[in-house]
Structure 1
Amino acid sequence: MKKIHMFNDIIRKLRKDLFGKGPERIHTIFVDNMAVSTLYGNLTPTEKFIASTPEGKEMVHRARTGMIQAVYAKAPPEGLEELMEAKFLHLFSDFKIDDDIAVSVFLFDRSID
């Protein structure tokens, strides 16, 4: 599906620009007014090193989730609303540092599927 591929490219580019490394793999599904993305292989070598202690793991988690939510709270990435033909409302995200997996749920103002 071309739309999902284009959506994933926008997400990957933003994270690469923000963190210096984009996810190695993204799996996205569209459900009603949400895009649910699972992102694999996100961490940089530096983040992996920092996350080798419990305190470091918490710091990487907080920085990653806080930073991405702050960016989306300011404005959605360029081309996202045009591609989805819907207004972006909110991003919910979490990160499982041990497995290097992030999940992001993008909420839109109308059905996108």
Structure 2
Amino acid sequence: MSKKVHEFNDIIRKLRKDLFGKGPERIQTVFVDNMVISTLYGNLTPTEKFIARSEDGRNMVHAARTTLIQDIYKDKTPEGMNELMEAKLVHLFSDIKIEEDIGVSVFVFDRPICGPKEGQS
């Protein structure tokens, strides 16, 4: 894994741990043009798993895990992210499949973030 991908994953993991009390167990990230696409595995806390046993609970956990994350990034880009990417974060698209505990976040920056040899890890 490239150093840049590793550092990017650390930023994501720290923010989510601070926000939810638990960060993802594993993150797979790729850089594509002006986007960073991260797949996050093992996100849910034991409490969220308990709440998600009902349909209403799943909807509540889904809303918290998507809307809250998007609002946090909209208000303030995580410390060090723009500097690491040498670009400004302009959009975040995020979703999670509660039943399988897999989330996906697509970070869109204002310019390309990877050169010809960067891109996958």
TM-score range, shorter chain: over 0.9
- Runs of 4 or more above 4 Å deviation: none
Q: Indicate the RMSD between aligned Cα atoms, in angstroms.
A: 0.4
Q: How much does 1:49 deviate?
A: 0.1
Q: How does 1:70-89 map to 2 (within 5 A)?
A: 70-89=71-90
Q: How does 1:50-65 map to 2 (within 5 A)?
A: 50-65=51-66
Gapped regions of structure 1 (runs ≥ 5): none
Count of aligned pairs between the two proteins? 113
Question: Residue 67 of structure 1 aligns with which residue?
Answer: 68
Look up the SS of the partner of 1:91 in the other structure.
Answer: strand
Percent of paired sites with the same residue: 71
TM-score using structure 2 length: 0.93
Question: Residue 34 of structure 2 aligns with which residue?
Answer: 33
Q: How much does 1:63 deviate?
A: 1.1
Question: Residue 6 of structure 1 aligns with which residue?
Answer: 7
Look up the SS of the partner of 1:78 in the other structure.
Answer: coil
Question: Residue 18 of structure 1 aligns with which residue?
Answer: 19
Q: How much does 1:96 deviate?
A: 0.2
Deviations 1:54-100 (A, max 9, x none): 11001100111011000000011000000000011010000000000
TM-score using structure 1 length: 0.99
Gapped regions of structure 2 (runs ≥ 5): 115-121
Counterparts of 1:97 and 1:104, CA distance in 2: 14
Counterparts of 2:8 and 2:65, CA distance in 1: 20
| 1:96 aligns to 2:102 (yes or no) | no
Counterparts of 2:11 and 2:68, CA distance in 1: 17
